[in-house]
C-alpha cells in the first residue's frame, strides 16, 4: 500500500511513501502522519492511498507514525 502525503511546504505536489503493515488497516485519507522529509521528519496529511505503486517500491521510504487516530480533514477536501 502506498500513501501520497502533502506537507506544508511551498511545493505544490504530494510525496509517495510505503505504508507499513501495522498501520495499513487504519490509515485513511485526511489523517496526519509523520514521515521522513529531506533531512528531517515532518508532519503531513495523507492525500491519497494506492494499492499499487505508481513508482518503484524500492525507492520509497516508510510512513513513520500516525499522528492522530482519526482524520482531521474530510477526504472530499483533500486533493492529491
pLDDT beyond 60 at 80: no
Cell 507514525 -> residue:
65
Instruction: Give the structural domain span for 72.
Output: 2-77
Q: Angle CA(76)–CA(77)–CA(80) in degrees, nearest 5? A: 90
Q: How many CA atoms lie within 13 A of 55 on its CB side?
A: 12
CATH number at residue 18: 3.40.1440.60
Mean pLDDT score, 23-45: 93
Q: Which residues pair with 34 in a beta bridge?
A: 43, 65
Residue 15, pLDDT above cutoff 80: yes
For residue 51, what pLDDT is reported? 87
Q: What is the pLDDT of residue 12?
A: 85
- 47 or 55: which leads in pLDDT: 47
Q: Provide mean pLDDT across the span 43-71.
A: 86
Q: What is the tally of structural domains in the chain? A: 1
Amino acid at each position: 500500500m502506498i500513501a501520497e502525503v502533502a506537507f506544508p511546504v511551498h511545493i505544490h505536489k504530494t510525496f509517495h511513501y510505503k505504508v507499513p503493515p501495522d498501520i495499513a488497516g487504519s490509515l485513511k485519507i485526511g489523517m496526519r502522519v509523520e514521515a521522513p522529509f529531506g533531512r528531517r521528519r515532518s508532519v503531513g496529511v495523507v492525500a491519497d492511498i494506492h494499492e499499487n505503486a505508481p513508482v518503484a517500491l524500492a525507492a520509497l521510504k516508510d510512513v513513520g507514525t500516525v499522528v492522530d487516530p482519526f482524520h482531521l480533514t474530510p477526504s472530499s477536501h483533500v486533493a492529491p
